[in-house]
Each structure stands twice: as C-alpha cells, then as structure tokens.
Amino acid sequence: MNMRQLLGCALLAMALMTWGCEGTVTQGNGSGGDTSQGDGLNGDGVNADGLSGDVDNDLTLPPSLVGLTAIRIEPQDKTLIVTPQAPATQQYTVYGTFDDKPEADITSEVVLHVQEPSLGLFIGAKFQSVTTHGGETMVHAGVGPFSVSTPLHLKFVSNALGPETSNPLPTAPWTVFAGADTSPGLAPQLVYPNDGVMLPPNVAQLEVHWRPSGGADLFELGFHHAALDLNIYIRCTEPTSGGCVHKLEPDTYRQLAETTDGLGPVQLTIRASDEAGGLGSSATFDVEFAQEAVEGGVYYWTTSDGTAIMRFDFGDAEPNPEVFVTANDDRLDTCVGCHALSRDGKKMVMSKGGQNDGRIVFLSDVTRPENFDLNVPNQDDQDLLIQFAAWNPDGTRFAAIYGDVDNESQRNRVHFHDGNTGLRLNESIDLPFEPSHIEWSPDGKMLAMSRVGTHQTSQRPFNCGLEVMRKQGNSFGAPETVIPIQPGVNHFNPNFAPDSSFMVFSRSVCPNGDDENDECDGDSDLYAQTYAVQPQPGATPVFLARGGGPGVEDQGNKNLSDTFPRFSPFAKRQGAGRLV
C-alpha cells in the first residue's frame, strides 16, 4: 500500500468513527442536495431521524455546529482532467443549514475523503489526483450524523510516443492528426485485438496489429472512453508480412486498464497520415477491461521448441510464460503432456509419454517442480498409468482414466487416487462404456466425462457424447446422458464453471460425416468449437459465438481448432453480474 492509499484509508477510518456516534442514521439520496432522506446508493447526506427515533443532534456535534439540520457539498458531479505530467486538483466546500441561523460554510469542521483512495486523496478540503490513471469515484464528507456525497469523474488524457526508428516522429505528432479524415485510401485495417474482446486488467500485455494502406507509415493509435483519451504516435517502417505490430508498454496498459476497468468498452481506432494533410481512419473496435483482476496462473502444454508444461502468472512483474516441467536427462526421460491441477492450485498430476504410455508424474507442491513425489519409471505397474485426471474440491483425491489397453473392462473404469501420494486407491467405478476427459465439479457433487463411441486411445477418442454422475451419499450414481452420441459429431472435454451450474466442452463436426477422421478425434481438431451446456439430461448446448468467432485475419473461417476450454476457478464481480 502506498502513502496515498494509506492516508486515504486513514481518512476513511476517521470519517467512519465520526459518523458512528449514537443513534441510527438514514442514508441520503446521492444528488448532492438535501440531506433529509434518500436511498444511500450514491450517497448524498444523512438526517438525524434514525430508525430508532429522534436523536439530539447537538450531542454528536462540535459546539460551532449546534442547531445543524442538513449539509450539502459543492461542486457536484465534477469532471477533472488528469495527465501523466500534472495531477487534477479541486477545492470542495461543505455548507451547513441551521435551524436558527443562515446557511454557513462548515468545511473546516467536516472530514472529506474519496471512496477509491487509489485515485487520489484530500489535503484539507483540496482533492489531488494521482497522475497514473483516471477513473470514477465518490467524494464523501461527514460530521456527526450528517454526511454528503457527490460523484467525481477523473478523465485521463495522454499523448505517448512509440519507439524510436530510423525515421523520427515529427515534433508534436498529435498536431498532424488534428484535422478531419480526408483520404479514405489511407485508412488502415485494424486486425487485432478482436472487436469486443474483454481483457483482465492485470495482464499488462497487449499488442495492436494493423495493415497500412496508401503508403502511410505515421499512425495514431487512439483509445477513447468517457474516462480516457489516450493516443500513441508511432511509425511502421518495417511491416511484417504486410502488417504493423505495436506492443503497448506495461505502464500504458495499466493506464488503460486502471482507468476503465469495469466501466464498459474502450473504443480503439487507428488513424494514418501521409504527412501532407491526408488522414484516414480504421474501423473502430471495442476493447473492454474486466472490473477485477484474474488471479493465479495458467498451465498449458506446448509442442513449441520441445514439448513442455508451461506456466503464465497473471499480474507478474515479468508477465512471460515460463517452463514448468519438461523432459530432461536428470528427471524425465520423455515428455509430460496431459496434466491436472488441484483446485487450490497446490498439486499437480501429469501423464508421461503420451498415448499408450501414461506413467504418472505427481507433485504435491507445485512451488517445487523439481521434486517429484512420484515419477513412475516404467509401465510394469498398470495401477500407475493414467491419461486424464480431475481433482475433488479439497485436493484429497483425484479421479483418473486410462483407456490405452485392449481389455474392455479395464478401459471402462474410473479409478481414484490418493491426493497426497498419487497412488491408486482400492476404489473404482465400472461403467458400461469407455470414459475419457474426466472432470470433477467444483462443488464435489458430480463427475462429468466424455462417453467414447469408437475406441482408439484416451487422448484421441472418436464419436463421443457427454455423461454426468451425481454424488449419492459416499458414492456416485448411475451415468446420465447430457449429450448422446451422434453420427458424424464428437462432443468431448467437459469443464465445469466455478459454481458447477454449467459446463463448457468441445464439439467437432467430422468431415464428410466420417466418425474416424483425424480432424474429429478429440485432440487438436481443426473443426472444434466451444459450447456450453447445463449438466442435465437432454440439456440444449449453446455455441459460444463471441469467444469462438473468427478474427479479421480468419476472413470468416470458423474452423479454428478451438479445443479444450478451461475456466478460472475464481468468479469475479462485473457490474451487476459476475464474470467466470
């Protein structure tokens, strides 16, 4: 916590102590005017007629405010401009209404603070903003049982310069873009990020891609919102494959995200100049920043530069993927790929060697990836082979499947393993079908899985449907069909939302209706798309069109290998709803 935040919290604590005097108070209505009544959501004032009956105001006020009946604040609903070079400042005045004398300035008697201390603080009755970002907050003032509030809007305005190139930017390049568009032939094509994307506020990485037109190489990247006017001026002297790329500086990303997180879409437009008076603009894309940060990290398997399980930490000061586990001579004789992380993020079980192998590698502490608790050296022990696994909510056990065997009864089985050792327990569920892609719901009450229609391997099953099993006492009941097996379609890889109310999964339509085509084998399917469905028999799947839709460079192609969706375990606030 920085000093400004500390002071803001201290002022808030003082105000709460001041308002916490005897009697119950009624919140004001938020308009900045009369303080006698209201709903308290935007906060305008408080009278002294609490729910517990009349209170003698004079007992809770300093002698100079005896007879006070209401307070108001000026200015109301103020918008201020913040820049990286200069903070915004605003003097506030609080007036009191008395029952026996005229209205008077009582500012020196009240406590003033802002609801969001990261935006600035009060020095006496003068508010001073930070210079790192803008946003929206409330200004609160209070004395005794009286309080008053008013909105404060801080608009962040900045002109930033891109990296230096062999062709320097003109002096004050924003003046070049001061006029209206005159040359449609100069209009760039905005390619990335996708229109309508929502980003976590704490990723701190964003690239903007565009295709130039008309020979222009001077550009204005503009991010605009009611709370923001941020422009970046840049040249594109060496296009890559005909396109330009600019990676935002981490500070620029934070300015964008911290100003507008939770406040709706930011409009991104790229303008081009021929530096002879001609200007052209791209289409405008919406880019939104979520209200709350994404926590934790993402683990994923890569085949790039040698196979490995990678980790990306959200909010890291150095937000770059790092190798978590990979094959090497000292610890692993071959690759590890399929893996399952416990829901508390502390343990991981992995499958080594891929198809027709599946030796367990187990970690009870992911902060020490060099210390395996279990690293099975060979396939002699069939009890120590898995392909897919899923953890129960408290991490005490995990369910696993292994179908890369000829024995049908063995592959039609769900096994349970000790969550502290990785060893198989003497517990299993025999099924009337081969399962794959096992999943345990966050509430612990359901197992979900792919129901294999045509056997191949667990990693590449053909013609699957989706099943769930519900907890009944200490065991699971009979399978229930959520999505039946259908000719020419593969439904696979269910994954529960944090509240267990629905699942996402992958769906591939097989080319020419061929159930055994490699492009619909439940692996890296070209035709895979992401759907959502409730874990109920006969539920209707819903295609997630926004998440799985094509970008500009896809040119309308919807076959994007959109496989294996995963939820963050944390549900976050987003406006009046929640984000998962």
Q: What is the pLDDT of residues 402-426, one digit of tens each?
A: 999 999 999 999 999 999 999 999 9
Map tokens 């903007």 to a residue. Answer: 208
Q: Which CATH class is domain 162-289?
A: mainly beta
Closest CA to 536 of 458, 464, 481: 481
**Pairing assessment for the beta strands 244-247 and 218-225 based on DSSP bridges:** unpaired
Residue 12 confidence class, pLDDT cut points 50, 70, 90: very low
Cβ(393)–Cβ(442) below 8 Å: yes
Residue 237 confidence class, pLDDT cut points 50, 70, 90: confident
The CA-atom distances, in angstroms, between 452 and each of 257, 436, 441, 483, 540 are 44, 7, 20, 12, 20
**Tens digit of each residue's pLDDT (9 = 90 or more) over 491-500:** 999 999 999 9
Residue 445 has a pLDDT of: 98
Q: Check residues 161 and 335 and name the one with the higher pLDDT.
A: 161
Residue 59 has a pLDDT of: 64
**Tens digit of each residue's pLDDT (9 = 90 or more) over 100-114:** 999 999 999 999 999
Beta strand ranges found along 168-227 (DSSP E): 189-192, 197-199, 207-211, 218-225
Residue 284 has a pLDDT of: 98
**Tens digit of each residue's pLDDT (9 = 90 or more) over 286-305:** 999 999 988 888 999 988 87
- Considering the chain, what percentage of its residues have pLDDT values greater than 90? 74
In DSSP terms, 197 is beta-bridged to 287
The CA-atom distances, in angstroms, between 264 and each of 225, 260, 267, 312 are 9, 7, 10, 26
Residue 19 confidence class, pLDDT cut points 50, 70, 90: very low
Cβ(105)–Cβ(95) below 8 Å: yes
Residue ranges, comma separated, of all CATH 2.60.40.10 domains in the chain are 162-289
Residue 58 has a pLDDT of: 62
Q: Check residues 48 and 68 and name the one with the higher pLDDT.
A: 68
Residue 480 has a pLDDT of: 98
pLDDT at 153 over 70: yes
In DSSP terms, 397 is beta-bridged to 418
Residue 573 has a pLDDT of: 80
Instruction: Please give the CATH number for the structural domain made up of 3-154.
Output: 2.60.40.1080
User: What is the rounded distance in angstroms from the CA atom of residue 343 to the CA atom of residue 73?
Assistant: 49
Residue 549 neighbours by CB under 8 Å, 6+ apart: 194, 558
In DSSP terms, 289 is beta-bridged to 199
Residue ranges, comma separated, of all CATH 2.60.40.1080 domains in the chain are 3-154
Residue 269: Cβ within 10 Å count: 17
Residue 316 confidence class, pLDDT cut points 50, 70, 90: confident
Residue 485 has a pLDDT of: 98
Whole-model pTM? 0.82
User: What is the rounded distance in angstroms from the CA atom of residue 174 to the CA atom of residue 226?
Assistant: 20
Cβ(131)–Cβ(82) below 8 Å: yes
Residue 540 has a pLDDT of: 97
Residue 506 neighbours by CB under 8 Å, 6+ apart: 490, 491, 492, 493, 522, 525, 528, 529, 530, 531, 562, 563, 564, 565
pLDDT at 210 over 60: yes
The mean predicted confidence, pLDDT, of the chain is 88
